[in-house]
Amino acid sequence: MQKFEICIDDTGEHYSCAASRSVLEGMEALGKKGIPVGCRQGGCGVCKVQVNAGSYTKRVMSRAHISAEEEASGCVLSCRIHPTSDLRVSVIGAMKKNVCRQGTVFFPPQPMNQPT
């Protein structure tokens, strides 16, 4: 089974995603709490991402959530794409708040100034 490395540019996180799985399924495997995905079939529009690099196959996406122009520029629903190479994505949909939440291990607190 072929796997590809997916990088979430917003957080610097990487995860492995089999070509047979959607990018969203791989993202859910990161164990993030509260990824507010609804249908997982392209109808709710919650899992919108911008593909910044790499290639993928795609399934039909609802024009209510992704216009033809957006799709052509790499703005897609992560539940409807499967990687065919390593990918870099930015989360731009409603799940951004939870995927890119401050305070996770990927956004460690800045060290406090120590008195001199």
The pLDDT tens digits of the residues spanning 25-56 come to 888 887 765 566 667 777 788 889 999 999 99
Q: What is the pLDDT, as a whole number, of residue 96?
A: 78
* C-beta of residue 7 within 8 angstroms of C-beta of residue 99: no
* Res 106 pLDDT > 60: no
The pTM assigned to this predicted structure is: 0.79
More confident residue, 116 or 54: 54
Mention the CATH class of domain 3-99.
Answer: alpha beta
Average pLDDT over residues 95-108: 58
Q: Where are the domains of the chain?
A: 3-99
Measured at the CA of 28, the angle between CA 60 and CA 108, to 5 degrees, comes to 130
* Res 112 pLDDT > 50: no
Q: Encode pLDDT of 62-92 as tens digits.
A: 899 899 999 999 999 999 999 999 999 998 8
Distance CA 81, CA 77 (A): 7
